[in-house]
Structure 1
Amino acid sequence: MSHHDHYSAEEIAAALGQVRTIALVGASPKPDRPSYGVMRFLLSRGFRVFPVNPGQVGKEILGQRVYGQLADIPDPIDMVDVFRAPEFLSDVVDEALSLPKHPKLIWGQLSVRDDAAAAKAEREGVTVIMDRCPAIEIPRLGL
């Protein structure tokens, strides 16, 4: 059994407690998309959110400038929140690990799980949470 099969409330709270800036990979400008709702929620909770979507570069989502890749974001990122299909998680991890300052946390949204990609990040000291949603976990944990 992988430790990614279950996360304790303490684990999730500790990981999120270190987060102020979030790169939201796979951000969508469409209000009916889950990434839009989660981004709106995170902004409402005071996080700085940088949407990442190569097809929307230079535009804005929820008033935030869109970036094409993690390396384009001008500030260090505490968390990378991944709204991409699971097969893309490994590429996102590689991109995150190539940054001058690694994020503290890589978060795979619901159904986004790749244990090999997670192990790669964890070897570099990055916490990984997968197949969860921060917009569910934050209220559930009272954070």
Structure 2
Amino acid sequence: MEETLLKERLRKARTVAVLGAHKDPVRPAFYVPRYLFRAGYRILPVNPRFAGEELFGERVLGNLQEIQEPVDILDVFRPGEALPAHLPEILALRPGLVWLQVGIRNPTVEEALLGAGIPLVVDRCLMVEHRRLLGT
């Protein structure tokens, strides 16, 4: 995705769902959404392991199907081989942008998302890119 468009999407986004959110502060699946929360985004954490608990001021959801509102960015912290199982949920959610964190790749899922018209950022850290593009 072109940098100008990415910067605009980050600037306009308000709600970020985090698939694979975690409670351990040393894990990227915790400190990246914490950074985004502190930057003013609403974080919708998703992880069946912690469902019903609270992270970033929100109840942790068990799956993407529980989200009942538009999502600007879906930030994914799941291994590439786990992504096909999430694809139907992601397609049903229709987030404004899917962000696959550093090291997360699955060409079949990437092709399906792009084919469905869902913009995609792959193998990049949302926190690093947010800091670089928006300076916070």
TM-score by length of 2: 0.90
Q: Post-superposition, which runs of at least 4 consecutive aligned residues in structure 1 deviate over 6 A?
A: none
* Residue type at the aligned position of 1:48: R
Return the alpha-carbon distance in structure 1 between the equivalents of residues 12 and 134 of structure 2: 15
Map of 1:128-139 to 2, 5 A cutoff?
128-139=120-131
| 5+ residue gaps, structure 2 | none
Q: Select which of 42, 45, 52 maps to 1:48.
A: 42
SS at match of 1:112: coil
Return the alpha-carbon distance in structure 1 between the equivalents of residues 83 and 9 of structure 2: 19
The 3 A distance-change label for structure 1 pair 106 and 33 is: same
Residue 77 (str. 1) matches residue 100 (str. 2): no
SS at match of 1:31: coil
Residue 92 (str. 1) matches residue 107 (str. 2): no
Q: Percent identity?
A: 36
Residue 31 (str. 1) matches residue 25 (str. 2): yes
Mean CA deviation greater in 56-65 or 32-41 = 56-65
Match of 2:51 in 1: 57
How many residue pairs match? The answer is 135
Cα RMSD after superposing both structures: 1.6
* Alignment check: 8 A CA contact 2:52 2:59 kept: yes
SS at match of 1:16: helix
* Residue type at the aligned position of 2:47: N
Residue 109 (str. 1) matches residue 101 (str. 2): yes
Aligned-residue offset at 1:11: 4.1
Match of 1:20 in 2: 14
TM-score by length of 1: 0.86
SS at match of 2:87: helix
| 5+ residue gaps, structure 1 | 1-6
